[in-house]
Amino acid sequence: MSSLRESAGKPLSELARLTGATLDGDGSVVVERVATLEHAGSRDIAFLANPRYRARLAATRAAAVIVDPAAAAATSLPKLVSANPYAVYARVAALLHPEPARAAGIDPTARVDASARIAATSSIGAYAVVGAHAQVGERAVVGALCVVGEDVAIGDDAVLDAHVTIYARCIVGARTLVHGGAVIGADGFGLADDAGRWRKIPQLGRVVIGDDVEIGANTTIDRGAIDDTVIEEGVKLDNQIQIAHNCVIGAHTAIAGCVGIAGSTRIGAHCRIGGAAMIGGHLEIADGTVISAATQVYDSIREPGIYTGAFPALPHRDWKRVASQFRRLRELAERVERLEAAQRAGNDNKPTRGEGNG
């Protein structure tokens, strides 16, 4: 627990007021940290969001807990009750463990172009580079070794962790968090076959990122070929995602790690995409669609729902047998079609009732 940022603590009644949860029990109990049910101590608040861990509720040594109404009667501890305990936990964790404030100013080792507009309340870290005519908003943070290209705009309260690269003319919205190693605005994979040689197509668009977006470590978002690549407000991107040129990711969509999205695909708002899913280019995904992990999407999805294309793991010997049978599916389907056609022809040639009776 010592690895958590220290907190002065808050009474449970105040946490209930700030999170919108219902207080059940002694509101004067002060909690300082969040913890799991298993490892919580007398200064901690724990939470139960997954019913599989309900047995741990009775044994926890936490000072208080966050539960849903169905689990409230299972413990006598002071508690915050909510239909969405995981969301309340997220709010409590942010209140008890806020990000440390970063000192405003420009590190003496940073290279900032004289034409850049840097808010006095912003922070520019060691060895960062800020290009010509770039803008860095109020209280924004540009971490160590970041590169902010020419004409880039970084919104108020945005944070670029160390080693982030933002290419020229891209826009990062207010309160957006970009984790280390992310690359925003590199050229899209635009190539034309010219007499057997690949000719590079200039990538003239930008990446435009809305407010309250989070972009994971080593995620890459390519600039548009002509129009912009757009990440709308509230989008949450995990680590090591590839988003190709001219994609549009709708507001409040969440995408897990190692997803690949090919160019010019439009993903709707409030979608959820599981890890390692692969989505082809020039597709449209409807608002509210859920795509399971490792699913491959080759066609547009017009109706929201849950879409799954991954095959469960099998012992290798069983998988070889299934794969062998899978290769024969087309042959089997053709055989069935021939048999059905023959049966239909036979039925057509049978005499009807009354034929041959004179």
Distances in Å between the Cα of 28 and the Cα atoms of 77, 78, 91, 168, 316 are: 13, 10, 19, 52, 58
Question: Looking at the annotation, which residues are catalytic?
Answer: 245
Task: Using DSSP bridges, classify how beta strands 159-160 and 141-142 pair: parallel, antiparallel or unpaired.
Answer: parallel
Strands 177-178 and 159-160: parallel
Which CA distances in Å does 143 have to 28, 140, 160, 185? 39, 10, 6, 18
What pLDDT does residue 352 have?
A: 62
Give Dmax (Cα) for the chain. 111
Give the span between the Cα atoms of 226 and 245, in whole angstroms: 9
Q: What is the pTM of this model?
A: 0.89
Determine the pLDDT at residue 326.
86
Q: Quickly tell me which residue has 């000192």 as its tokens.
A: 103
* Beta carbons within 10 angstroms of residue 132's beta carbon: 14
* Helix 316-327 vs helix 329-349: crossing angle, to nearest 10: 40
Q: What are the phi and psi torsion angles at 265 (to 5°)?
A: -90, 140
DSSP notation for 62-119: -SEEEE-GGGGGG--S-EEE-S-HHHHHHHHHHHHSPPPP---EE-TT-EE-TT-EE-
CA atoms of 16 and 340, how far apart (whole Å): 67
Name the phi and psi angles at 123, rounded to 5.
Answer: -130, 125
Give the pLDDT of residue 183.
Answer: 98
> For every one of its 358 residues, what pLDDT tens digit does the chain have, with 9 covering 90 and above?
445 555 679 999 999 999 999 999 999 999 999 999 999 999 999 999 998 899 999 999 999 999 999 999 999 999 999 999 999 999 999 999 998 888 999 999 999 999 999 999 999 999 999 999 999 999 999 999 999 999 999 999 999 999 999 999 999 999 999 999 999 999 999 999 999 999 999 999 999 999 999 999 999 999 999 999 999 999 999 999 999 999 999 999 999 999 999 999 999 999 999 999 999 999 999 999 999 999 999 999 999 999 999 888 899 999 999 989 888 998 989 999 999 998 888 777 766 665 554 4
Question: In angstroms, rounded to a whole number, what is the distance separating the alpha carbons of residues 184 and 131?
Answer: 15
